[in-house]
Amino acid sequence: MTQEYNVKGMVVKIKALRKNAEALKEISGGIPAVDKNADRILANVRMLEIDISDAAEILGK
Amino acid sequence: MKNGEYWNPVLETMPREKLLQQQLKKFKEIFTWAYENSKFYHKLYSDAGIEPGDIKKFDDIKKVPKIEKSMMRSVQGPGKQNFPYGDILSVPLEQVTDYRQTSGTTGQPVYQADTWQDWEFSTEAYCYAMWAQGYRPKDRVFVPFGYNIFIAFWAYHYAGEKLGCEVIPGGVLNTEARILKMQELKATAMGATPTYVLGMAETARGMGIDPIKDLYIRKITVAGEPGGSIPATRKRMEDAWGAKVYDQVGSTEIGHWGWECRQQAGLHVNEGLFLVEIEDVNTGETIEEPGRKGKMVVTTFNRMAQPCIRFDVKDIIQWNARQCECGRTYRLLDGGLMGRADDITKVKGVLLSPMAIEEVVRDIPQLGNEYQVVVTKKGDIDDITLKVELLPEYQKDQAAIKAKLTDQLRLTTNLGYNIEFHPYESLPRSQAKSRRFQDQRPHH
């Protein structure tokens, strides 16, 4: 069933989400509203990695 | 099966051989994390002479020492590092965002730390369950439970939100107020313990509200007690509410590792996020074949603040031979949680599981939902008393019901009981985990 989905494409976008959220924290200047919202985004990115990216490695996608 | 049936088809329909590779990879990751970041685990593994590089194939997992609740307790509490979590903590204390604790029914509670990412993981695991049970954004989900320091129904609430359902916190309302609010808002689903699901139906009827005709609940997720996987108890709940009832299992230390899908064919182990092993209670031998009972040893792959690796839970389970028609490749358990290794006790020299008694009691429609089992010793002889409630309209049939109950218990458990009939609704009822089995023998 996994072949019906663009897993490879999703993995690329998930990586980009992580990169962007981490980059946002780097330029936040320590603004709590930015850092803490970025942390929450990164927690959700981790769920996407667990759900999709980690499995893609095993599936060879 | 339509793709829309799965929360995450990539994991849930992964071919078995790939799923096992995934589990080995995930096990290595959490093992390495704990070895490097938790003093508790580092010492445990160093003392056993095992390190991350030693986990090369699936069978190597069995070399990893198991942990028990008592081991967690021993490193936690006042005077210990990282109060109250102790050396099991694997992240800086300031990264902890959520505190929970076990109920402490078997001793001092275990304190459970979660980072926000860990809590997202717990929620995510529950999303798999609720989606599989047919929860969708159109559902209005009522949570008739007083949220507190225990894990119960927190993740159900958060997962309901994540799915896009409308979630109504029943919190500190009493049972009557909860029923009226469910009626007013036309709630379509709820989550509670089996005991409370049955108790709410009784209360509603006492208020002149028929749960089937006057309420709108069509899906119920039950947790905290084994009743959801006991056919007679499930039937009582479904008959009382006119709703589908789905079992869900998890714990504070582990997370939400198993659930029934809409097929109601047994508990699916969420093998994408957890590793469940079954061991022979006496020999420790790994059980792979279906239909043979053993105790559960479980690993949570992605909970980082307080890892749970090869946790000897002492719950008794068995594999089911069936492949579920839902199309998931996750294995099924047969009969849900079948009791606890420390609950299954010898009475008069016979192994007795309290769940076997529940199956008999709940299968006799003239009896109420509640019961209690008390084991005592008279001289050198064990004595079992079963307390049940007879529905008021069947008082005249007491002798016949007693004879039927005695026969069925003898047939199912191979033991004789003193049967006590108590007035309807007089035995204790609980919203949380019910303790219906009391072993009052010396040294028990």
The band of B431, judged by pLDDT with boundaries at 50, 70 and 90, is low
Of B11, B120, B121, the CB nearest to A55: B11
Q: Is the pLDDT of residue B105 over 70?
A: no
Name which residue leads in pLDDT, A53 or B282. Answer: A53
Instruction: Tell me which chain B residues have a C-beta less than 8 angstroms from the C-beta of A46.
Output: 117, 120-121, 302
Residue of A51, A52, A57 to mutate when probing chain B, most B C-beta within 10 A: A51
Question: Among B127-131, B292-296, B425-429, which is the least confidently predicted range?
Answer: B425-429
Q: Verify whether the Cβ–Cβ distance B13 to A51 is below 8 Å.
A: no
Tell me the average pLDDT of chain B.
Answer: 91
CATH 3.30.300.30-classified regions of chain B: 345-439
Mean pLDDT of A35-57: 97
**What does the pLDDT read at residue B414?**
79
Asked if the C-beta of B430 comes within 8 angstroms of chain A's C-beta atoms, the answer is: no
Residue of A nearest to B124 (CA): A47
Mean pLDDT of B382-400: 90
Q: How far apart are the first and last CA of chain A?
A: 13
Name which residue leads in pLDDT, B339 or A16. Answer: A16
Q: Is the pLDDT of residue B217 over 90?
A: yes
Mean pLDDT of B32-50: 97
Mean pLDDT of B380-387: 86
Q: Verify whether the Cβ–Cβ distance B302 to A1 is below 8 Å.
A: no
* Tokens of residue A7, six digits: 């897993």
CATH class for the region spanning B345-439: alpha beta
Instruction: Tell me which chain B residues have a C-beta less than 8 angstroms from the C-beta of A58.
Output: 14, 18, 21-22, 25
**What does the pLDDT read at residue B343?**
63
SS3 content of chain A, % helix, strand, coil (to 5): 85, 0, 15
Q: Which of A28-37, B148-157, B328-337, B432-441 has the highest mean pLDDT?
A: A28-37
Q: Verify whether the Cβ–Cβ distance B120 to A44 is below 8 Å.
A: yes
Question: Among B47-51, B142-146, B285-289, B406-410, which is the least confidently predicted range?
Answer: B406-410
Distance between A9 CA and the closest CA of chain B, angstroms: 13
ipTM confidence: 0.95
Of A39, A43, A52, the CB nearest to B10: A52
Q: Is the pLDDT of residue B305 over 90?
A: yes
Mean pLDDT of A1-28: 93
Q: Is the pLDDT of residue B395 over 70?
A: yes
Q: With contact defined as beta carbons under 8 Å apart, do B201 and B211 qualify?
A: yes
Distances (CA, A) of A27 to A15, A22, B85, B160: 19, 9, 34, 34
Give residue B310's region: left, alpha or beta (phi > 0; psi -120 to 50).
Answer: left
In angstroms, rounded to a whole number, what is the distance separating the alpha carbons of residues B276 and B279?
10
Domain B1-340 annotated CATH 1.10.1380.10: no
Q: Is the pLDDT of residue B63 over 80?
A: yes
Q: Verify whether the Cβ–Cβ distance A4 to B3 is below 8 Å.
A: yes
Q: Verify whether the Cβ–Cβ distance B10 to A43 is below 8 Å.
A: no
Name which residue leads in pLDDT, B76 or B380. Answer: B76
User: What digits encode the pLDDT tens for the residues B343-365?
Assistant: 666 777 777 777 778 888 888 98
Q: Verify whether the Cβ–Cβ distance A55 to B14 is below 8 Å.
A: yes
Q: Is the pLDDT of residue B16 over 60?
A: yes
Query: Rounded to two decimals, what is the model's pTM?
Result: 0.87
Q: Is the pLDDT of residue B434 over 80?
A: no
Q: Which of B194-198, B215-219, B352-356, B385-389 has the highest mean pLDDT?
A: B215-219
Asked if the C-beta of A39 comes within 8 angstroms of chain B's C-beta atoms, the answer is: yes
Asked if the C-beta of A54 comes within 8 angstroms of chain B's C-beta atoms, the answer is: yes
SS3 B83: coil
Q: With contact defined as beta carbons under 8 Å apart, do B59 and B13 qualify?
A: no
The band of B226, judged by pLDDT with boundaries at 50, 70 and 90, is confident
Of A2, A4, A58, the CB nearest to B22: A58
Q: Verify whether the Cβ–Cβ distance A52 to B8 is below 8 Å.
A: yes
Q: Verify whether the Cβ–Cβ distance B10 to A46 is below 8 Å.
A: no
The band of B3, judged by pLDDT with boundaries at 50, 70 and 90, is low
Q: Verify whether the Cβ–Cβ distance A59 to B18 is below 8 Å.
A: yes
Q: Is the pLDDT of residue B282 over 90?
A: no
Q: What whole-number percentage of chain B has pLDDT above 70? A: 95
Q: Verify whether the Cβ–Cβ distance B14 to A2 is below 8 Å.
A: yes
Domain count of chain A? 1
**What does the pLDDT read at residue A1?**
63
In angstroms, rounded to a whole number, what is the distance separating the alpha carbons of residues B10 and B434?
38
